[in-house]
Amino acid sequence: MLKKVEARSVDAVVIGAGITGMYQTYVLREMGFSVQGYDGSSNVGGTWYWNRYPGCRLDTESYAYGYFGLKGIMPEWTWTERFASQPTMLRYCNYAADKMDIRKDYQFNTRVSRAHFNESTDMWDLGLDDGSEVSCRYLISAVGPLSATRMPNIAGIEDFKGESFHTSRWPRDPSDPNGAQQIDFSNKRVGVIGTGATGVQVIPIVAKSAKELVVFQRSPNWCTPLGNTPITEDEMVKLRSEYEKILAFVSSTPTGFPYERNMKKGSQTTPEERQELFESLYDMPGYGIWLSGYRDLLTSKASNNYLAEFIANKIRQRVKDPATAEKLIPKDHPFGTKRVPMETYYYEVYNQPNVKLVDVRETPITRVTPTGLQVGDKTYDLDVIVYATGFDAVTGSLDLIDIRGRGGEPLKQTWDDGPLTYLGLQVRKFPNFFTLVGPHNGATFCNVGVCGGLQVEWVSRMLGYMRDHKLVYSEPLEEAQDKWTQQVYEDFSKTLLTEADAWWVKVKNHPDGTQTRRAMVHVAGGPEYRKFCEDIASRDYEGFVLR
Ligand SMILES: Cc1cc2nc3c(=O)[nH]c(=O)nc-3n(C[C@H](O)[C@H](O)[C@H](O)COP(=O)(O)OP(=O)(O)OC[C@H]3O[C@@H](n4cnc5c(N)ncnc54)[C@H](O)[C@@H]3O)c2cc1C
């Protein structure tokens, strides 16, 4: 007779072994909680484990993203580039895992497939994809804002006889668990579908060696130069001596990036002043042009147009064929209302004889055939198809788990009309469930390296407070949740971000042809978000039912 195996029980389960999950697991373990982590991957790293396509790298300054360095967990870590590449980022994650001795707290190659709140025990009962079960008091999601890959809905995808892969599932090097397979494109006709942040990184690398590269673009993005440079040993010594100052500075900026804000409005300036500022920002590495331009960039159409026209002219200067240049200039969204892809020689690629740009907005891809792609009545013969089609962002990975709260209500149903949260961290009817870097929280529209870490610390303090006060149950009040959700929507509605179909908007098409568009991110700024959270904490976690 089969013996019934009792489900294991721990204080907290953390889903995800990216930078956020690892740190959450470490902090709770150090506080004395029993913690079990799970990840579907075979090792730590999350984003930096999965995305191994050529050209993948940070667009945040490495030192300002590397929270474990800034926090003193690995002060000896050396950054060698201003914007670290994926292999470096994966090494960074592995080094951090060694320093925190975190792998022993994780079960890898294991996905959490089900999480049901048990009202008779006030515990979460979890089902894992290896068939086993575990129960926990606190369920902490660190599943990542960009971790559920999205494939386009094109007929015939399975029929293609060549090689094809999504950028986030790039083939592995069988001899190196942390490496990517080096693909020789030199004799190949390659198609890349997608020109978002990932496409813009992968296209210039493939273009260097491919016999032919066809880029299938649905909507162009406003891309600006990354400006990557090496970090010398002397610079590293200086950076290390300033870690405290850097952390304080990035924590004080709205999106956690190390750039000063410009307090002027575009409308308060002359054309000459604007030209001078924009030229200097265009030459500046990273997101300076997005974050240090005029402060009304994302609230005033006129101010936005000044910068958009400047960038459009840069594209016209860099791309020799005027018709191709016009195709690469966005017409459907203001500058900066989608995450700005940071590029390195991206526009020059279209001057190469082996590269062709195909606009699939007007004539969409009809189907994938065994030998390539069909677009209207044209066929493109290809040996490789790269799907740079991005992610089902923010809620995508949660949607893949059968999460049910009080009364058996599925989270997916609760959020059908857009996420409802309190502080972007908890959801009514889903007690003791925390969503790190999730919808409506201040870490998602931010430099996640730092903002995710700060959020982990806030949640950990809350759990510590609950333990100290012999409380084991936390759930937001309905009015607190409604107020927060409305505030998130209202803040978002005051910006031009509403005008773009970016991943921070959840769009739902209704059968009657209408559409709802819900903000997925809190845009009022990191300092404001954290001040709000601190105030809540200082008032004994006001807005939460604790018992
Ligand atoms: C190519 C790329 C570049 C980026 N560059 C930047 C940047 O420069 N700056 C920036 O701030 N942000 C950047 N981001 C966003 C990035 O996702 C965050 O910076 C950060 O890595 C998120 O860390 P995380 O730990 O929260 O989630 P992730 O790193 O996404 O980790 C989530 C983990 O959860 C696991 N998981 C999910 N569901 C389950 C489940 N049901 N069961 C078990 N495991 C599960 C996944 O396997 C994954 O390993 C980038 C994202 C991408 C894709």
Q: Which two tokens stand for residue 281?
A: 């920002």
Q: Is 19 in the pocket of ligand 1 (CB under 6 A)?
A: yes
Q: Is 198 in the pocket of ligand 1 (CB under 6 A)?
A: yes
Q: Is 62 exposed, middle or buried (0-12, 13-18, 19+ CB in 10 A)?
A: buried
Atom of ligand 1 nearest to the CA of 198: 1
pTM beyond 0.90: the answer is yes
Query: Is residue 451 a contact partner of residue 466, using CB atoms and an 8 Å limit?
Result: no
Q: How far apart are CA 224 and CA 226, in angstroms?
A: 7
Tell me which of 124, 146, 287 to substitute to probe ligand 1's pocket, judged by most ligand atoms within 8 Å of the beta carbon.
146
Q: What is the pLDDT along the chain (547 residues), one digit of tens a residue?
A: 444 455 689 999 999 999 999 999 999 999 999 999 999 999 999 999 999 999 999 999 999 999 999 999 999 999 999 999 999 999 999 999 999 999 999 999 999 999 999 999 999 999 999 999 999 999 999 999 999 999 999 999 999 999 999 999 999 998 988 899 999 999 999 999 999 999 999 999 999 999 999 999 999 999 999 999 999 999 999 999 999 999 999 999 999 999 998 899 998 999 999 999 999 999 999 999 998 899 999 999 999 999 999 999 999 999 999 999 999 999 999 999 999 999 999 999 999 999 999 999 989 999 999 999 999 999 999 999 999 999 999 999 999 999 999 999 999 999 999 999 999 999 999 999 999 999 999 999 999 999 999 999 999 999 999 999 999 999 999 999 999 999 999 999 999 999 999 999 998 889 999 999 999 999 999 999 999 999 999 999 999 999 9
Of the candidates 55, 79, 51, 50, the one whose C-alpha atom is nearest the C-alpha of residue 65 is 79
Cβ-Cβ contacts under 8 Å for 414 (sequence gap 6 or more): 405, 420, 427, 429, 430
Query: Is residue 134 a contact partner of residue 10, using CB atoms and an 8 Å limit?
Result: yes
Query: Is residue 16 a contact partner of residue 143, using CB atoms and an 8 Å limit?
Result: yes
Q: Is 452 in the pocket of ligand 1 (CB under 6 A)?
A: yes
Q: Is 456 in the pocket of ligand 1 (CB under 6 A)?
A: no
Atom of ligand 1 nearest to the CA of 168: 53
476 phi/psi in degrees, rounded to 5: -70, 150
Tell me which of 448, 451, 503 to substitute to probe ligand 1's pocket, judged by most ligand atoms within 8 Å of the beta carbon.
448
Whole-Å CA distances, 339 to 222, 409, 501: 9, 33, 11
Q: Is 387 in the pocket of ligand 1 (CB under 6 A)?
A: no
Q: Is 326 exposed, middle or buried (0-12, 13-18, 19+ CB in 10 A)?
A: middle
User: Ligand 1: which residue has its CA nearest to atom 52?
Assistant: 47
Strand 372-375 versus strand 378-381 pairing type? antiparallel
CA of 19 to the centre of ligand 1 (A): 8
Q: Is 21 in the pocket of ligand 1 (CB under 6 A)?
A: yes
CA of 18 to the centre of ligand 1 (A): 6
Residue type at 64 in one-letter notation: A
User: Ligand 1: which residue has its CA nearest to atom 27?
Assistant: 144
Of the candidates 6, 30, 35, the one whose C-alpha atom is nearest the C-alpha of residue 140 is 35
